[in-house]
C-alpha cells in the first residue's frame, strides 16, 4: 500500500541500490557508484483512493529492501514504513508496514515440481 498516487496504472522502476549494512538500509545511487546493483520491478495499480494506492509488485531483481526503497524514491513510500517513509519515522507506537507477499512460488529442490502458495491481500487499509 503506497502513500501517494502513481500517475500511470502500471510501470517499471529501474534504479541502482547500495546496501548499508551498518544502518540496515539501502539507498538509490548513480549507476557508476561502487557497489551499486541494478534493481528492477514492475508495478500495477489495483485500487486507489484520495491518499493511498494499492499496487501489485513483480520483482525482477531481489535486492535488500528493494520495494520499500524504490517506491519511496519514486515519491510513493509504503504506508507504515518507519525507515523510508518520513510520515512514519517519528511515530513511537508500532505500525505495521503495509507490504505482503501474497504469492510465492519456487521449484521444489527434490521433486522439481513448482510449488505455489497464495493468500488474498488485505484491503482494509485502503478506505
pLDDT category of residue 92 using cuts at 50, 70 and 90 = confident
Record the cell numbers describing residue 77, joined without a space: 513510500
Mean pLDDT of the region 46-74: 96
pLDDT category of residue 126 using cuts at 50, 70 and 90 = low
Q: Among 57, 33, 63, which residue's Cα sits nearest to residue 43?
A: 57
Pair 83, 65: CB distance under 8 Å: yes
Query: Given a cut of 60, is residue 7 above it in pLDDT?
Result: yes
Q: What's the start-to-end Cα distance of the chain, in Å? A: 11
pTM above 0.85, yes or no: yes
Q: Round the average pLDDT of the chain to a whole number and report it.
A: 93
Helices (H), the chain: 66-74
Amino acid at each position: 500500500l503506497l502513500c501517494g498516487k502513481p500517475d500511470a496504472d502500471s510501470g517499471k522502476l529501474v534504479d541502482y541500490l547500495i546496501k548499508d549494512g551498518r544502518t540496515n538500509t539501502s539507498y538509490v545511487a548513480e549507476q557508476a557508484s561502487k557497489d551499486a546493483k541494478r534493481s528492477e520491478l514492475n508495478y500495477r495499480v489495483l485500487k486507489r483512493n484520495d491518499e493511498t494506492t494499492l499496487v501489485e509488485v513483480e520483482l525482477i531483481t531481489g535486492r535488500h529492501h528493494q520495494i520499500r526503497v524504490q517506491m519511496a524514491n519514486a515519491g510513493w513510500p509504503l504506508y507504515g514504513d518507519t525507515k523510508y517513509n518520513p510520515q512514519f519515522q517519528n511515530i513511537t507506537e508500532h505500525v505495521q508496514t503495509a507490504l505482503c507477499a501474497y504469492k510465492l512460488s519456487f521449484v521444489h529442490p527434490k521433486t522439481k515440481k513448482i510449488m505455489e502458495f497464495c493468500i488474498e491481500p488485505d484491503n482494509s487499509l485502503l478506505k
